[in-house]
Amino acid sequence: MTGSLDGKVAFISGTGGGIGRAGAIRFAAAGASVVGCDADVSSAAQTQALVTAAGGTMVTVAPVDLGDYGDCRRWIEEGLAAYGRIDILWNNASSGVFATIESMTPSDWERSIRNELTLVFLATKAAWSQLATDGGLIMNTASVAAHGGSVAGIAHSATKWGVRGMTHVMAAEGAPLGIRAVSISPGVIETPGSSAQLAQPGVTEALMARSLVPRLGQPDDVAAFAAFLASDDASFATGADFRVDGGLINR
């Protein structure tokens, strides 16, 4: 298939559900060996079972707290013990706090910074020396929140703008080592994490009114594009952010 990942080893964080689960399934179907991780042991195991049942290859490390550097190193080291290399590091996992400036507490702010921004740096740092040997791709999940702002998104916008900024630096420092770095900015995607927000009266209708594509995004919309970016077909792409948002930001 175009964009084949045959023979590649892909480390994907947050594989317990949503975009991470879709990514693990999509990458394995394209021929990659997947090293997943998640904070939730049960959901991570379910994803691995889905991949295996479909004929794919995957190992999972869980529970992993990506805000802890020791846990990040454990994830990378166990994946290397299984497959011996890193071709793709997809920093997908994140968990933010949504609150207005007035209502957000300092601890909420710090939790968002840790679990949406710091974890991207820590996982990349844990993998950097091996990436320097193997080359390959760092792919970071940002957000349309990194292209604008909305009510109750003060921390989320700050972290995702930060993810975009770090991606540029990773591309610059990685280029001499044969490392590409890109970010993906999803729009509103139907995942377990967005279900509560989308269930609020009028929210889905308001989003649809702004979207150029008349539907909500699905996890596989992002996973399919990520698989292309991870393939050799995208070897000239680095230092860039790619929106997968149905045209939401255009309006």
Question: Per residue in 11-50, pLDDT tens?
Answer: 999 999 999 999 999 999 999 999 999 999 999 999 999 9
Instruction: Tell me whether residue 4 is in a domain.
Output: no
Average pLDDT of the segment spanning 143-147? 92
Instruction: Tell me whether residue 93 is in a domain.
Output: yes
Instruction: Tell me whether residue 148 is in a domain.
Output: yes
| Number of structural domains found in the chain | 1
Predicted confidence (pLDDT) at residue 2 exceeds the cutoff of 50: no
CB 196 within 8 A of CB 164: no
CB 122 within 8 A of CB 72: yes
Predicted confidence (pLDDT) at residue 145 exceeds the cutoff of 80: yes
Instruction: Tell me whether residue 2 is in a domain.
Output: no
Average pLDDT of the segment spanning 147-168? 93
Q: Domain range spanning residue 125?
A: 9-250
Domain CATH code at residue 222: 3.40.50.720
Instruction: Tell me whether residue 40 is in a domain.
Output: yes
**Dist CA 156 CA 115 (whole Å):** 10
Q: How sure is the predictor about 192, in pLDDT bands with cuts at 50, 70 and 90?
A: confident
pLDDT at 212: 87
Instruction: Tell me whether residue 3 is in a domain.
Output: no
Q: How sure is the predictor about 208, in pLDDT bands with cuts at 50, 70 and 90?
A: confident
